[in-house]
């Protein structure tokens, strides 16, 4: 995936001038992919080197049945340590440097995705997401409720997520957005989709019989289409099955219709 | 047994502190959070007195006190960090 | 073995033989001649079933743990296979959705609680006393009790399947899904109660192991010199002590919510859901190290034994583990990065999480470097240990991914997490399986079939990676979900194949270990060439009394001294002591001192070594007992978090052991009299286990404080009552039983010299109780912060809730504490009536406390105000719930204390305690603790 320059958030570049360039920015999809790739490469490298070294040495120093060395451990001796401390500390130091710098690097991005300006930006689209067993309601600022999340492409969309019954986790894997839906609590997150199309949101925390089917459609529309659609909505013509005001567990235990089709991720 | 007077004195102090706690609240002179910490501090002092003398921690190896203190620290870490996390 | 003379046991054995008196030896593990049983205070032969019901010997209990744990491995494994079958294609419903959720949840709970930890504790039971040179654990009967509570808690969990289905909310049991509104089956309650019972078992066990390991090490075996496996168990039990206390609080609250209708986790509350997450993960993260540390210990032992090298950087290895154990309590919110916790706290916990991964790097490198210049022998235990390290490395690397919060945001709730923790946890299991092969010859006296052992490893390792690696590739599969993106189908099918291969590999193991029991070669004392720890210096299996004398390291290496001897009298036993203790640690910067062995030319000898048969295996070792007359060791019976004291502890003899040094001055007591030997049998632990099981089955029927109508409800109620009485009977029975455990003086007791076992046990138990109440108070504070500490909170409480009853109760309790102090003073003055008078006053004050509380509660239940038209009951709101439950738990502690007081009064009436006031003192510790708790509850619930 190519990483386009970020046209939307000049303010953020100003906020972290020293880090610009190194710290991944952009949509969540972009930052995740960049960081994941780096971790994957380094992780694989470290894994291969360490495991390879282990296997190599285990083979190299395999027992040849020779004489028992004089200083070999004996039953009844008090445990002591062997030599090799310098090597130990060198490798330890190296691994520390790798791990700590990796994490510091990602921390820059964490600050970016959690930035107040990003999370609670002024004129972004704001949508309340309410999880219930077993589905999602999306509530727009004008009071319109639907069971399909419609958002404009290439715009930051703010989500306010909660649950009206048990603990759920709202996530749209393809858009790399995820946050817990906790009864009595609000969590904030944002998403930005670059391509129009249909995506699938789903639940990521076990919540009962319908957990595997607790999905919702996410429709990313062209901004103009979105404006049109939104202009025609109101609290009255809501399409959601039930509003978040309904308290208590719902009877819907079985799979919902939307669950039958399989969303293909990726 | 020579400690008997000491024990009696401590008992009197404990009762007095308990009374003081109620008094601090009822008198209402202090701002809430000042009163809060005063009251908690009084509880702490009482607890330490009981543990130190009645439970003989004063005369046990320090490691025993350390063990109890570790448990206390764990509980405080849980309480403080959890409460702070939702502020 | 070329250098016989350097083996300390040659020497030690000789010495012992010279001083042999009336050799008395029984075979602890296999056959014991019938007539010998009476020498051992009623312990029947191993072939009889009764033996296994009454035994309190640590080796027997170890075997019981191991076998039971393996049973639960099969149980959890079958559930896992069911899930894997379901996942063959996306969205299959071989199991109904709810059944699938039950399988997921039960699998996790069983594997983590009823298999993994107990499996490790099978070895801990068997091996730790041997490694530290103790004849048994400090409290053998409590050890048996731990086992029976463990077994019966597992059976209770099994029962839950038949009560409308077991718990279906995941092993993390998130709230409020864990409440009856959402998981209404009775079985779900039973599962929670089963876990509660398990936690009680763990707590008893922790107290026991900590006391043992701290107080009962052989002379010269200072903490720094302790074998690494024992080190890992020591740290594990410390973590268990505190972590499981938090879980106990969580489970008690959950049980109260489920059974009597408190409102902590209800969805209507503001923060109940988060509160559970905090409590659970505060326990949960230490728990992952609790299950992993013993595995690390096995790896450390096996790496040393099978490379013929001492571990690199031993001192740092230990330091790293200590650091991890401490820090494990400060990382829990990395499981909550997606919740509503604030950014500052996320940052903090990201830092601690990454911090805690670093010591692990050091440990891994230490193990890897230990192989260098060694003589690596690919025996079955080594293969498993080596494999475990590889798996752990992969698991650790993927853990670092999770520690990066931005990545965790996406990984949370997916198979990435599933794959990560299976690599680390099942990686740990891998090492423990290695441990089973390592210690099997010791535990059974037989060698397993080596080829089948290696076959097992090959199948296991391939199966493992086939099962779990595809989960990394298919990581976008949602967790605990059987509908997944179709493109991952192939990967999931590979996984399923791997799962069956892994399962099948265990069939090979069971077959091998079972058949070898009868047909295996006899194992020598030390079947592994370069092992060092004490268990390899004694027969396989060890005799009941473990050692042919008093183990001591004061000369620098292991010797068995004739009993009753003073270490100072005996000259060091030859070259075995030539490793000076000062070489401890890896700070040495060169490794050039090793004897260079060129292993690369010839083929490695791939066989398991069995060359140590030349060691002394003289059957006629002297078995003498530890010295002084024994006294009852049992003081604390942890029962649902309350201490029920038991019988007279007739004072543990005063010790004059020096701190951390090597010389222990011995009282030259007649050590030859068999009447003074330890007891090894008691049926009461079994009875307590059984009755608590039945009691909890009965209790599971409870809902909203009452049993359902009709026959079923009646059955539950009846069972509760009958079993409750039975439980009380069993507790009292155990308290009254004469049982002689081990008595000091022991060798090394740092840092707890100068306090005897029983008192230390009580203190350690109280430390866990501190965490229990701490977690209750923490929950209260958390909920109150979430609701709004001052204003909103006061609306939840009726005006009738006033300070006065609390203040009166404070005075009552403080006075009762003072009278307990007076009771002890009376003992010192040998004043029988002073003692009885003080205790009776305590009793009266305690009862007054309860009556006052009852009146207060009655009043509050029936308030009639505008805000509370129906009274202020347990379930009225979170404020009432926290108030009643927290002070109620305290009241239960008071009641338990009063029962003990009654018992003490009865005994005092008959003249007890004037010569030995320890029981009164111990009761005092408990009672003052209850007092202290109230000192905090009073301001929190009445004033502020
Ligand atoms: C190398 C250092 C490690 C790091 C940095 C690490 C980090 C993490 C993180 C951040 C999570 C939370 C994932 C999520 O749910 O979003 C996690 C989950 C988990 N880790 Fe680790 N971990 C490490 C080692 C271990 C070890 C040694 C064990 C156990 C032997 C372990 C067992 C687990 C378990 C059981 C879970 C999942 C709990 C659950 O959600 O059910 N981890 N780890
Ligand atoms: Cu769900
Ligand atoms: Cu963790």
pLDDT in tens, C723-757: 999 999 999 899 888 888 888 778 888 889 888 89
Size of interface A-C (CB pairs under 8 A): 398
Name the minimum distance, in Å, from the CA of A31 to any CA of chain C. 9
**Nearest residue of chain C to residue B9 (CA atoms):** C818
Q: What are phi and psi of C817, to 5 degrees?
A: -65, -45
Confidence bin at C143 (pLDDT 50/70/90):
very high
In a domain, A74, yes or no: no
Give one word for B28, left, alpha or beta, with left for phi > 0 and alpha for psi -120 to 50.
Answer: left
Name the minimum distance, in Å, from the CA of B52 to any CA of chain C. 11
A173 and A201 assigned to the same domain: yes
* pLDDT surpasses 60 at C381: yes
Alpha carbon distances (Å) from C178 to C85, C162, C171 = 26, 18, 10
Predicted pLDDT at C28: 37
Q: In this predicted structure, which of A41-55, A252-266, C236-250 has the lowest mean pLDDT?
A: A252-266
Take residue C309 and report the two structure tokens written for it: 């090298």
Predicted pLDDT at C267: 65
SS3 C219: strand
Q: Which of residues 9-48 of B touch C (CB under 8 A)?
A: 11, 14-15, 18-19, 21-22, 25-26, 32, 36, 39-40, 42-43, 46-47
- Residue C223 contacts B where some CB pair is shorter than 8 Å: no
What share of chain C in percent tops pLDDT 90? 68
Predicted pLDDT at C426: 95
Confidence bin at A67 (pLDDT 50/70/90):
confident
Confidence bin at C920 (pLDDT 50/70/90):
very high
Q: Per-residue pLDDT tens for C567-577?
A: 444 433 333 33
Average pLDDT over residues C284-297: 96
Question: CB distance A102–C404 less than 8 Å?
Answer: yes
Predicted pLDDT at A120: 55
* pLDDT surpasses 60 at C201: yes
Residue keyed to tokens 């490794």: C591
Average pLDDT over residues C549-556: 91
Q: Per-residue pLDDT tens for C162-195?
A: 999 999 999 999 989 999 999 999 999 999 999 9
* pLDDT surpasses 60 at C161: yes
What is the edge-to-edge ordering of all strands in the sheet holding A187-191? A145-146, A135-139, A125-132, A157-163, A187-191
In a domain, A217, yes or no: yes
* pLDDT surpasses 70 at A6: no
C-alpha Rg value of chain B to the nearest Å: 16
Q: Which of A74, A110, A183, A208 to mutate to test the interface with C (most CBs of C within 10 A)?
A: A74
Q: Per-residue pLDDT tens for C637-693?
A: 333 333 333 333 322 233 323 233 333 333 333 333 344 567 888 999 999 999 999
- Residue C810 contacts B where some CB pair is shorter than 8 Å: yes
Question: CB distance C612–A173 less than 8 Å?
Answer: no
* pLDDT surpasses 90 at C712: no
> Which domains, from first to last, does chain C contain?
7-52 (no CATH), 797-944 (1.20.120.80)
Q: Per-residue pLDDT tens for C449-492?
A: 999 999 999 999 999 999 999 999 999 999 999 999 999 999 99
Burial class (CB in 10 A: 0-12, 13-18, 19+), B84: middle
Take residue B47 and report the two structure tokens written for it: 């607890």
Instruction: Respond yes or no on whether ipTM tops 0.90.
Output: yes
Confidence bin at C582 (pLDDT 50/70/90):
very low
Report the separation in Å between the CA atom of C632 and the middle of ligand 2, taken as the mean of its atom positions. 53
CB contacts, 8 Å: A65 with chain C: 602, 604-605
Cβ burial C325-350 (10 Å sphere, 16+ → b, else e): bbbbbbbbbbbbbbbbbeeebbebbb
- Residue C85 contacts A where some CB pair is shorter than 8 Å: no
What share of chain C in percent tops pLDDT 70? 83
Confidence bin at C269 (pLDDT 50/70/90):
low
* pLDDT surpasses 60 at B60: yes
* pLDDT surpasses 60 at C433: yes
Total domain count for chain A?
2
Confidence bin at A66 (pLDDT 50/70/90):
confident
Predicted pLDDT at C565: 58
Q: Which of A206, A208, A265 to mutate to test the interface with C (most CBs of C within 10 A)?
A: A206
A141 and A232 assigned to the same domain: yes
**Residue C26 exposure: Cα atoms within 13 Å on the Cβ side:** 21
Question: CB distance C310–A82 less than 8 Å?
Answer: yes
* pLDDT surpasses 50 at C578: no
A163 and A92 assigned to the same domain: no
Predicted pLDDT at C738: 83
A54 and A134 assigned to the same domain: no
Quick one: which H or E segment has residue A202? strand A197-203
Predicted pLDDT at C271: 85
In a domain, A2, yes or no: no
Alpha carbon distances (Å) from C474 to C205, C417, C477, C488, C495 = 40, 11, 6, 6, 10
In a domain, A70, yes or no: no
Could you tell me how far CA C839 lies from the centroid of its own chain?
35
Nearest beta carbon to residue C486 from set A60, A182, A262: A262
Residue C335 CA: nearest ligand 1 atom is 12
Which residues, at least 6 apart from C450, have a Cβ–Cβ distance to it below 8 Å? C379, C380, C607, C608
Best of C170, C236, C288 for a ligand 1 pocket test (most atoms within 8 Å of beta carbon): C288
A97 and A134 assigned to the same domain: no
Predicted pLDDT at C233: 97
Confidence bin at C399 (pLDDT 50/70/90):
very high
Report the separation in Å between the CA atom of C284 and the middle of ligand 3, taken as the mean of its atom positions. 7
C-alpha Rg value of chain C to the nearest Å: 28
Residue C170 CA: nearest ligand 1 atom is 41
Own/partner contacts of A227-234, CB < 8 Å, gap of 24 or more, are A227/A152, A229/A150, A230/A140, A230/A142, A230/A144, A230/A150, A233/A140, A233/A142, A233/A144, A233/A146, A234/A142, A234/A143, A234/A144
- Of all protein residues, whose CA lies closest to atom 1 belonging to ligand 1? C396
- Residue C304 contacts A where some CB pair is shorter than 8 Å: yes
Average pLDDT over residues C23-27: 36
A231 and A128 assigned to the same domain: yes
As a whole number of angstroms, the distance between CA B66 and CA B64 comes to 5
**Nearest residue of chain C to residue B56 (CA atoms):** C925
As a whole number of angstroms, the distance between CA C482 and CA C403 comes to 26
Q: Which of B8, B47, B74 to mutate to test the interface with C (most CBs of C within 10 A)?
A: B74
- Residue C936 contacts B where some CB pair is shorter than 8 Å: yes
Q: What is the 3-state secondary structure (H, E, C) of C280-312?
A: HHHHHHHHHHHHHHHHHHHHHHHHHHHHCCCCE
Q: What is the mean pLDDT of chain A?
A: 80
Predicted pLDDT at A121: 56
Quick one: which H or E segment has residue A127? strand A125-132
**Nearest residue of chain C to residue B1 (CA atoms):** C825
- Of C637, C931, C641, C638, the closest CA to residue C776 belongs to C641
Alpha carbon distances (Å) from C341 to B82, C88, C550 = 9, 37, 56
A40: containing domain:
18-63+83-114
Residue count (chain A): 266
* pLDDT surpasses 70 at A191: yes
- Could you count the other beta carbons within 10 Å of the beta carbon of residue A126? 17
Ligand 1, CB within 6 Å, residue ranges: C 172, 288, 291-292, 334-335, 353, 357, 360, 396, 399-400, 402-403, 408, 411-412, 417, 420-421, 424-425, 428
Predicted pLDDT at C564: 63
Alpha carbon distances (Å) from A216 to A198, A203, A221, C247 = 10, 9, 16, 35
In a domain, A255, yes or no: no
Predicted pLDDT at C529: 84
Confidence bin at A196 (pLDDT 50/70/90):
very high
Which ligand is closest in space to the CA of residue A132? 2
Own/partner contacts of C693-696, CB < 8 Å, gap of 24 or more, are C693/C152, C693/C153, C693/C155, C693/C156, C693/C197, C693/C723, C694/C719, C694/C722, C694/C723, C694/C726, C695/C719, C695/C720, C695/C723, C695/C724, C695/C726, C695/C727, C696/C156, C696/C190, C696/C193, C696/C194, C696/C196, C696/C197
Average pLDDT over residues B44-57: 93
A178 and A224 assigned to the same domain: yes
Q: Where are the domains of chain B?
A: 2-86
As a whole number of angstroms, the distance between CA C284 and CA C278 comes to 9
Chains that touch A (3 or more CB pairs under 8 A): C
Predicted pLDDT at C435: 97
Question: CB distance B78–C275 less than 8 Å?
Answer: no
Nearest beta carbon to residue B21 from set C271, C924, C939: C939
């Amino acid at each position: 995936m190519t990483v386009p320059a970020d046209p939307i958030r000049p303010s953020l570049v100003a906020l972290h001038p020293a880090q610009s360039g190194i710290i991944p920015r952009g949509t969540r999809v972009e930052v995740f992919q960049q960081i994941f790739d780096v971790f994957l490469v380094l992780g694989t490298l470290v894994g291969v080197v360490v495991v390879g070294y282990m296997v190599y040495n285990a083979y190299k120093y395999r027992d040849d049945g020779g004489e028992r060395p004089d200083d070999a451990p004996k039953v009844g001796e008090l445990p002591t340590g062997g030599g090799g401390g310098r090597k130990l500390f060198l490798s330890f130091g190296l691994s520390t440097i790798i791990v700590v710098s990796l994490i510091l690097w990602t921390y820059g991005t964490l600050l970016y995705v959690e930035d107040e300006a990003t999370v609670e930006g002024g004129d972004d689209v704001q949508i309340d997401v309410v999880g219930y067993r077993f589905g999602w309601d999306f509530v727009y600022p004008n009071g319109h409720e639907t069971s399909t999340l419609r958002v404009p492409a290439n715009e930051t969309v703010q989500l306010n997520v909660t649950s009206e019954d048990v603990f759920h986790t709202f996530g749209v894997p393809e858009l790399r957005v995820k946050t817990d839906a906790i009864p009595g609590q609000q969590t904030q997150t944002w998403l930005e989709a670059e391509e129009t199309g249909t995506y699938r949101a789903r639940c990521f925390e076990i919540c009962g019989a319908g957990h595997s089917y607790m999905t919702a459609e996410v429709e990313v529309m062209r901004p103009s289409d979105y404006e049109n659609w939104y202009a025609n909505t109101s609290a009255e013509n809501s399409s959601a099955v039930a509003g978040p005001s309904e308290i208590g567990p719902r009877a819907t235990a079985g799979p919902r219709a939307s669950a039958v089709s399989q969303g293909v991720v990726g | 047994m020579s400690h008997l007077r000491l024990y009696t004195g401590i008992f009197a102090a404990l009762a007095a502190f308990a009374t003081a706690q109620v008094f601090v609240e009822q008198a209402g002179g202090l701002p809430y959070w000042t009163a809060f910490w005063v009251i908690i501090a009084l509880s702490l002092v009482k607890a330490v007195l009981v543990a130190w003398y009645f439970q003989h921690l004063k005369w046990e190896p320090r490691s025993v006190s350390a063990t109890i203190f570790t448990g206390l620290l764990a509980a405080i870490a849980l309480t403080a960090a959890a409460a702070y996390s939702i502020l | 073995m070329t250098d016989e003379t350097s083996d300390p046991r040659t020497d030690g054995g000789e010495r012992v033989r010279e001083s042999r008196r009336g050799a008395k030896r029984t075979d602890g593990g296999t056959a014991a001649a019938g007539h010998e049983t009476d020498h051992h205070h009623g312990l029947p032969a191993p072939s009889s079933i009764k033996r296994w019901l009454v035994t309190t010997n640590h080796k027997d209990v170890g075997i019981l743990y191991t076998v039971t744990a393996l049973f639960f491995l099969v149980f959890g494994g079958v559930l896992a296979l069911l899930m894997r079958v379901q996942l063959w294609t996306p969205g299959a419903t071989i199991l109904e959705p709810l059944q699938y959720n039950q399988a997921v949840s039960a699998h996790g709970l069983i594997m983590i609680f009823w298999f993994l930890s107990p499996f490790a504790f099978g070895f801990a039971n068997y091996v730790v006393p041997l490694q530290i040179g103790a004849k048994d654990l400090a409290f053998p009967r409590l050890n048996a009790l731990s086992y029976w509570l463990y077994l019966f808690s597992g059976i209770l969990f099994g029962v839950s399947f038949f009560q409308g289905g077991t718990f279906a909310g995941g092993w993390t049991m998130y709230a409020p899904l864990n409440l009856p509104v959402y998981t209404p089956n009775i079985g779900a309650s039973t599962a929670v109660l089963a876990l509660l019972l398990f936690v009680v078992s763990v707590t008893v066990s922790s107290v026991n192991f900590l006391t043992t390991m701290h107080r009962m090490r052989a002379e010269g075996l200072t903490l720094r010199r302790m074998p690494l496996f024992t080190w890992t168990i020591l740290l594990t039990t410390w973590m268990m002590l505190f972590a499981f206390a938090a879980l106990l609080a969580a489970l008690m609250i959950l049980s109260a919510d489920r059974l009597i209708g408190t409102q902590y986790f209800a969805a209507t509350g503001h923060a109940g859901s988060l509160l559970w997450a905090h409590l659970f993960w505060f326990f949960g993260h230490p728990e992952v190290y609790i299950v992993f540390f013993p595995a690390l210990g096995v790896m450390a032992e096996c790496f040393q034994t099978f490379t013929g090298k001492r571990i690199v950087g031993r001192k740092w290895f230990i330091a790293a583990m200590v650091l991890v154990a401490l820090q494990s309590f400060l990382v829990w919110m990395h499981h909550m990065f997606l919740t509503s916790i604030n950014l500052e706290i996320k940052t903090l916990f990201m830092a601690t999480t990454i911090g805690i991964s670093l010591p692990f790097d050091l440990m891994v490198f230490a193990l890897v470097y230990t192989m260098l210049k060694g003589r690596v022998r690919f025996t079955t235990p080594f293969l498993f240990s080596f494999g475990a390290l590889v798996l752990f490395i992969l698991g650790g690397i993927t853990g670092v991914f999770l520690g990066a919060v931005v990545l965790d945001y996406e990984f949370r709730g997916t198979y990435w997490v599933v794959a990560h923790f299976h690599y680390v946890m099942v990686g740990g299991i891998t090492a423990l399986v290695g441990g089973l092969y390592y210690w099997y010859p010791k535990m059974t006296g037989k060698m397993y079939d080596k080829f089948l052992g290696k076959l097992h490893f090959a199948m296991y390792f391939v199966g493992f990676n086939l099962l779990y690696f595809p989960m990394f590739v298919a990581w976008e599969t949602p967790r605990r979900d059987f509908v997944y993106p179709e493109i991952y189908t192939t990967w999931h099918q590979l996984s399923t194949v791997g799962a069956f291969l892994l399962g099948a590999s265990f069939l090979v193991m069971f077959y091998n270990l079972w058949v070898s029991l009868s047909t295996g070669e006899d194992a020598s004392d030390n079947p592994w060439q370069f092992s060092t720890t004490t268990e390899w210096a004694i027969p396989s299996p060890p005799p009941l009394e473990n050692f042919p004398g008093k183990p001591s390291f004061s000369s620098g290496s292991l010797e068995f001294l004739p009993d009753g001897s003073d270490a100072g009298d005996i000259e060091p036993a030859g070259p075995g002591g030539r490793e000076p203790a000062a070489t401890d640690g890896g700070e040495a910067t060169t490794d050039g001192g090793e004897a260079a062995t060129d292993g690369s030319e010839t083929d490695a000898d791939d066989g398991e070594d069995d060359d140590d048969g030349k060691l002394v295996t003289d059957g006629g070792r002297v078995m003498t007992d530890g010295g002084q007359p024994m006294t009852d060791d049992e003081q604390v019976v942890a029962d649902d978090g309350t201490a029920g004291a038991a019988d007279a502890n007739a004072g543990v003899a005063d010790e004059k052991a020096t701190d951390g040094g090597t010389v222990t001055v011995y009282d030259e007591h007649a050590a030859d009299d068999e009447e003074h030997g330890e007891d090894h049998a008691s049926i009461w632990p079994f009875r307590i286990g059984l009755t608590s099981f039945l009691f909890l089955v009965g209790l599971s029927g409870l809902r909203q404080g009452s049993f359902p109508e009709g026959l079923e409800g009646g059955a539950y109620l009846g069972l509760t009552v009958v079993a409750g009485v039975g439980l009380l009977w069993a507790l009292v029975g155990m308290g009254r039983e004469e049982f002689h455990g081990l008595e000091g003086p022991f060798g090394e007791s740092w840092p707890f010299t100068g306090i005897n076992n029983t008192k230390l046990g009580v203190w350690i138990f109280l430390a866990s109780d501190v965490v229990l109440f701490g977690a209750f108070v923490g929950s209260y504070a958390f909920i109150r912060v979430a609701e709004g500490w001052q204003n909103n909170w006061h609306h939840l409480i009726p005006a009738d809730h006033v300070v006065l009853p609390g203040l009166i109760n404070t005075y009552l309790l403080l006075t009762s504490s003072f009278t307990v102090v007076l009771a002890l003073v009376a003992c010192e003055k040998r004043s029988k009536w002073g003692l009885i008078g003080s205790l009776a006053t305590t009793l009266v004050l305690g009862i007054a406390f309860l009556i006052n509380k009852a009146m207060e509660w009655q009043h509050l239940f029936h308030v009639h105000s505008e805000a509370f038209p129906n009274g202020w009951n347990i379930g009225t709101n979170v404020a009432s719930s926290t108030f009643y439950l927290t002070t109620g738990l305290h009241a239960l502690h008071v009641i338990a204390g009063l029962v003990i007081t009654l018992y003490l009064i009865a005994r005092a009436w008959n003249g007890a305690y004037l010569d030995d006031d320890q029981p009164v003192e111990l009761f005092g510790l408990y009672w003052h603790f209850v007092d202290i708790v109230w000192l905090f509850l009073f301001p929190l619930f009445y004033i502020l």
